[in-house]
């Protein structure tokens, strides 16, 4: 298995929840469902990779097992017992991975599939660089998985915000305004940013407010796709932000 040339997918768009895609893939052999599930796997490969690396798997084995695990899902070997009552897609994937790793036959098939077969497009250099940044945190494999999952959702929401803003906001304006998003925030006064962008201070404040509001909506949408019911969204938001601060 050799990596492709891009990091976690930023282009995936879904018209249904992730659970719907999984359940449809379980019920149907349609290529459309296989493609949808493959796209889903490409969006969430990094938390799986980080979990494997934290568990002590060498780089090559972590790549191979990431590919093998998602290959098993796409081939529906891992979907027969899936139940949306489990609630969180995050929890389902981790449980499915643990079951997969415990199965010696799946281990063997994964290694065979890893020999030159790319099921999920992943960027190994991105994954390893990100893992190295996080490996000093002292988190358990499960904690690192949750943290990586949260970061994946944050990044997906930001990519969507950037894509949406492309038609109405110059790239340099967007890059300057999102600096105010970080918890510490950009300490540059709004008037300084306004002068740099040839905007009024009021316009900069309003633009930052609109971007923040839209970002929160997109993040909530990303999270909603990974849980079974609307009532679980706020609880999952709190859990994931706790994972980031842990």
Cα 1 to Cα 60, 61, 73, 128, 168, distances in angstroms: 8, 10, 17, 15, 40
* 227 SS3 class: strand
Lowest mean pLDDT among 56-60, 75-79, 197-201: 75-79
Whether residue 196 is predicted with pLDDT greater than 80 in this model: the reply is yes
Q: What is the residue extent of each domain of the chain?
A: 18-137, 143-245
- Give the contacts of 116 (CB within 8 A, at least 6 positions apart): 1, 2
pLDDT, tens digit, for every residue of 229-244?
778 888 889 988 899 8
Most confident of 8-12, 64-68, 158-162: 158-162
Report residue 4's pLDDT band, with 50, 70 and 90 as the boundaries: very low
Of 147, 123, 149, whose CA–CA distance to 135 is shortest? 147
* pTM for the structure as a whole: 0.77
Contacting residues for 215 by C-beta, under 8 A, at least 6 apart = 157, 158, 161, 181
- Percent of the chain beyond pLDDT 90? 28
């Amino acid at each position: 298995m050799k990596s492709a040339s891009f990091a976690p997918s930023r282009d995936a768009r879904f018209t249904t929840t992730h659970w719907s895609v999984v359940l449809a893939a379980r019920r149907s052999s349609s290529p459309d469902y296989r493609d949808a599930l493959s796209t889903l796997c490409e969006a969430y490969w990094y938390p799986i990779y980080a979990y494997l690396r934290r568990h002590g798997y060498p780089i090559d084995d972590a790549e191979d097992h990431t590919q093998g695990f998602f290959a098993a899902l796409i081939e529906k070997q891992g979907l027969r017992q899936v139940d949306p009552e489990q609630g969180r897609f995050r929890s389902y994937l981790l449980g499915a991975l643990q079951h997969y790793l415990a199965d010696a036959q799946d281990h063997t098939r994964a290694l065979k599939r890893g020999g030159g077969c790319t099921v999920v497009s992943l960027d190994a250099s991105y994954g390893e660089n990100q893992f190295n940044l996080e490996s000093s945190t002292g988190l358990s494999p499960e904690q690192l998985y949750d943290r990586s999952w949260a970061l994946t959702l944050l990044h997906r929401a930001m990519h969507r915000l950037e894509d949406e803003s492309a038609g109405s906001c110059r790239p340099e304006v967007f890059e300057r305004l999102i600096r105010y998003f970080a918890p510490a925030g950009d300490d540059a006064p709004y008037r300084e940013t306004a002068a740099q962008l040839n905007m009024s201070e009021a316009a900069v404040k309003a633009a930052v407010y609109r971007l923040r509001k839209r970002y929160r909506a997109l993040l909530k949408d990303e999270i909603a796709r990974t849980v079974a019911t609307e009532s679980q969204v706020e609880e999952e938001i709190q859990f994931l932000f706790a994972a980031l601060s842990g």
